[in-house]
């Protein structure tokens, strides 16, 4: 069966520090991969999605970037965090036209 | 473009009462529709989905939803609420020909009173 791993679960970072969140999927090949951010009272915002290695689409302009170095690995990064980057970050995967399956999320607090 | 509207941010019901969470969608093509549940500090879990088969969809934990094209709605119901149903619920839409790019509503928090 398929599983998705996302880490760390929580992270506290100072403003201006770098960020790296990692997500890996097991049990499937060539999944579509997604990064969402959930801010309080604002629902889920799609940040990035990827349909293959090295293929990244950005949905909103922001201080973050994403990379997909391997088929089942998706990384969310920032060179310098802002206060507004705080939130709950969710990685998800899907196979063509199927449902999204989410990881457990990372709670990021930028102080 | 597709969108989802979930009116209100909070619903409170008594244990054993009917749960009704409303969702209206907008889509230029036949949609796929989803309901997800999120427990505190966890990821989202798929409750049920509509993908152009039966209009009444049954999901996990006793939930069901009915697709009504004429009303552009996909409301979530459960006949009898349980304390464990307290969570945040998200409705989402994707275009049936698209590559699973979901658009989510803002979510609604369900509280269950003993």
Confidence of residue A96 (pLDDT cuts 50, 70, 90): low
Map tokens 């940040």 to a residue: A47
- Quote the minimal CA–CA distance from B102 to chain A in Å: 8
Distance (Å, whole) CA A35 – CA A66: 8
Model confidence pLDDT, tens digit, residues B89-105: 999 998 765 555 788 99
3-state SS, residue B62: helix
DSSP label at A16?
T
Q: Given a cut of 70, is residue A31 above it in pLDDT?
A: yes
B101–A49 CB contact, under 8 Å:
yes
Map tokens 């152009």 to a residue: B52
A40/B contact by beta carbon, under 8 A = no
> Strand pairing partners for B58?
B64
C-alpha torsion sign, points B60, B66, B71, B75? negative
The highest-confidence range among A25-29, A38-42, B27-31, by mean pLDDT, is A25-29
**pLDDT attached to residue B96:** 61
Neighboring chain B residues of A106 at a CB cutoff of 8 Å: none
Closest by CA position to A75, among listed A17, A32, A34:
A34
A7/B contact by beta carbon, under 8 A = no
Q: Given a cut of 90, is residue A56 above it in pLDDT?
A: yes
Neighboring chain B residues of A101 at a CB cutoff of 8 Å: 46
Map tokens 């579509």 to a residue: A32
Q: Residues 6 or more apart from A8 whose CB is under 8 A from it?
A: A21, A106
DSSP assignment of B29-47: SPEEEEEEEE-TTS-EEEE
């Amino acid at each position: 069966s398929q599983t998705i791993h996302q880490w760390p679960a929580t992270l506290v970072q100072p403003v201006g520090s770098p960020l790296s969140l990692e997500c890996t999927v097991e049990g499937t090949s060539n999944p579509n991969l997604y990064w969402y951010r959930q801010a309080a009272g604002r629902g889920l915002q799609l940040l990035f999605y990827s349909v293959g290695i090295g293929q990244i689409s950005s949905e909103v302009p922001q201080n973050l970037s994403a990379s997909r170095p391997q088929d089942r690995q998706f990384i969310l990064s920032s060179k310098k965090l802002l206060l507004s980057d705080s939130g709950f970050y969710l990685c998800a995967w899907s196979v063509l036209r199927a449902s999204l399956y989410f990881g457990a999320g990372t709670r990021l607090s930028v102080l | 473009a597709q969108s989802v509207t979930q009116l209100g941010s909070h619903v409170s019901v008594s244990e054993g009462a009917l749960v009704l969470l409303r969702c209206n969608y907008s889509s230029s093509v036949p949609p796929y529709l989803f309901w997800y549940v999120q427990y505190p500090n966890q990821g989202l879990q798929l409750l049920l989905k509509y993908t152009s088969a039966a209009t009444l969809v049954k999901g996990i934990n006793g939930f069901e939803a009915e697709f009504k094209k004429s009303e552009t709605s996909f409301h979530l119901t459960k006949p009898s609420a349980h304390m464990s149903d307290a969570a945040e619920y998200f409705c989402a839409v994707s275009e049936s020909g698209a590559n699973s790019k979901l658009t989510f509503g803002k979510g609604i928090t369900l509280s269950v009173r003993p």
